Amino acid sequence: MSLLIKNGEIITADSRYSADIHCEGETITRIDRNLTAPAGTEVIDATGKYVFPGFIDPHVHIYLPFMGTFSKDTYETGSKAALVGGTTTLIEMCCPARADDTLKGFELWISQAVGKSACDFTFHMGVTKFNEQTETQLREIVRRGISSFKIFLAYKGAFGIDDTELYRTLKLAKELGVVVTAHCENETLVAERSKELLAAGKTDPGQHHESRPPAVEAEGVHHLMTFAELTGAATYIVHLSCKEALDQAVAARQRGVRVGIETLIQYLVLDKTYAEKPDFEGAKYVMSPPLRDARNQSVLWHGLRDGLIQTVATDHAPFDFQKQKPMGKDDFTKIPNGIPSLEERVNLLYTYGVKTGKIDLHTLVSVASTQVAKQFDLFPRKGAIQPGADADLVVFDPHYRGTISAKTQAMNVDYSAFEGWPLEGRASVVTVRGQVAARDGKFTGTLGRGQFLKRKPSHF
Ligand code: URP
Ligand code: ZN
Ligand code: ZN
């Protein structure tokens, strides 16, 4: 099967030119002007449109047992939502509970995706405890194609690890060339502050921010950076939300600490006043770290523009507003954490980042595709438009105008955090390894066709 994308304006992380793209089977084979289509070729006219490399979300939760419930998407619904929004590869956090067997956890997470996902996928292996058996199993998991770990400095008693475990995980990662991704918040501070707030009768969703203010996140980042400095391990801070945390990471980088930084689309476009909405409406906007004061948004946009921050993810974690968020009706610490955004990341980055002049098109491609592929050992198979790369392509229509609504979304969750927000542009045609998987907001792909992407560690 072959595919020809004609007359598009190709935008990569560092170039912009008009050309046609020919794909044979699953791969890009030729890029040139005035290519002609052999008989039987599917031709897509991209006149007036951009052609981007398929976008990669480096931080999603599809299968997530968490806070006494399960996140709502499956690989069937989640991969459809990803593709409709232009995301062709997912990197999911594999998060076995502390009491669970690490290798069995890995196998369980993979089994949720294989034969179900319509887009390609891989995992960050969650290290939620560390002992001799975990170490043996982590070595085996790396042999099976995983090149990144995930650790939590938050969520005491659930996913969180102690400092001895942190040190040993980083030592092992350094030996194996694995990058360690980390949720950075000081869990003791969160626990103590939460108790104080609840004791004072402060139970509403807006208090979530007070339980974990910027200093709590900055301390978590500083903590990780100290351990990274002493072990030499490559690290990556997930969902960085504020200036205080960014300052710590950048200072460590200046000392030679190896650290990549991810922010989220939610922190770029939402602020803490959303979580303070009355009548429990704020629960829709509860996640960790929390949405911050609006002044942080320009810091994060500038960080992307200037290359201080490498990637934009979603931390997609969908919990229904009607049935799941109310678990924390009288106690904000029990509100399942997460703001679903998988489907909207690229469209929001374009409308609220590129169209407003905060970032350019190349930065969009870099932070949502190419840098992700580079950080996580997928480049140049993913994140590139060049012969030999997977034919994961997004034909993007900058003339589209529409609004976001839960009524029309593919994500399996009963609300949208961006209800009624205007969009100026969206993915028009999305291909995965040469097959058209979404068109103008509708899924047209094949469930189960998504592949597990085996990765080789490179962060020695
Ligand atoms: O609020 C969040 N971030 N939910 C998902 C779990 C995590 O911490 O990544
Ligand atoms: Zn997290
Ligand atoms: Zn997460």
DSSP letters, 291-335, are P--THHHHHHHHHHHTTSS-EEE--B----TTTTGGGGTT-GGGS
Q: What is the pLDDT of residue 128?
A: 97
End-to-end CA distance of the chain: 39
> 184 burial class (0-12, 13-18, 19+ CB within 10 angstroms)?
buried
Name the residue among 243, 246, 267 with its Cα closest to residue 352: 267
- Residues, CB within 5 angstroms of ligand 2 (ion): 183
C-beta atoms surrounding 28 within 10 Å: 23
Give yes or no for residue 1 having a pLDDT over 90: no
Atom of ligand 1 nearest to the CA of 287: 1
DSSP class of 368 = I
Q: Is there a contact between 417 and 270 (Cβ–Cβ < 8 Å)?
A: yes
Residue 264 has pLDDT above 90, yes or no: yes
Ligand 1 neighbourhood includes 287 CB (under 6 angstroms) = yes
State residue 158's pLDDT score. Answer: 87
Residue type, position 141, single letter: I
Tell me the sheet residues that pair with 140: none
Inter-residue contact 85 to 345 (CB < 8 Å): yes
The CATH code belonging to domain 53-375 is: 3.20.20.140
Cβ-count burial of 14 within 10 angstroms (0-12 exposed, 13-18 middle, 19+ buried)?
A: exposed
Q: Would you state the torsion angle of the CA atoms of residues 404, 440, 81, 344, taken in this order, to the nearest 10 degrees?
A: -40
Number of other CB atoms surrounding residue 111 within 10 Å: 12
- What is the whole-number distance in angstroms between the Cα of residue 183 and the centre of ligand 2? 5
61 lines ligand 1 (CB under 6 A): yes
Whether the pLDDT of residue 385 is over 90: the answer is yes
**pLDDT for position 156:** 81
**Residues whose CB is less than 8 angstroms from the CB of residue 2 and which lie 6 or more positions away in sequence, other chains included:** 22, 23, 24, 25, 37, 38, 40, 41, 42, 434
- Using the mean position of ligand 1's atoms as its centre, give its distance from the Cα of residue 110 in Å: 20
Is pLDDT above 90 for 157? no
Query: 């289509």: which residue's tokens?
Result: 37
For ligand 1, atom 3, name the residue with the nearest CA. Answer: 288
User: What ligand 1 atom has the least distance to the C-alpha of 286?
Assistant: 1
* 0.95 surpassed by pTM: yes
Q: Is the pLDDT of residue 300 over 90?
A: yes
Q: What one-character DSSP code corresponds to residue 336?
A: P
Q: Is the CB of 183 under 6 A from ligand 1?
A: yes
Query: Is residue 289 in contact with ligand 1, taking CB distance under 6 Å?
Result: no
- Best residue among 263, 287, 325 to mutate for probing ligand 1's pocket (most ligand atoms within 8 Å of CB) is 287
Arithmetic mean of pLDDT over the chain:
98
The 10s digit of each residue's pLDDT in 326-382 is 999 999 999 999 999 999 999 999 999 999 999 999 999 999 999 999 999 999 999
Contacts for 13-19: CB closer than 8 Å, 24+ residues apart: 13/362, 13/365, 13/366, 13/369, 13/370, 13/371, 13/383, 14/362, 16/361, 16/362
| pLDDT tier at 82, thresholds 50, 70, 90 | very high
Q: What is the identity of the amino acid at 43? A: V
**Looking at residues 193-210, what average pLDDT do you find?**
98
pLDDT value of residue 125: 98
327-365: b (≥16 Cβ within 10 Å) or e:
bbeeebbebbbbbbbbbbbbbbbbbbbbeeebbebbbbb
Strands (E), 96-252: 120-126, 148-152, 179-183, 235-237
CB 15 within 8 A of CB 54: no
Domain ranges of the chain: 53-375
pLDDT of 212 reads 98
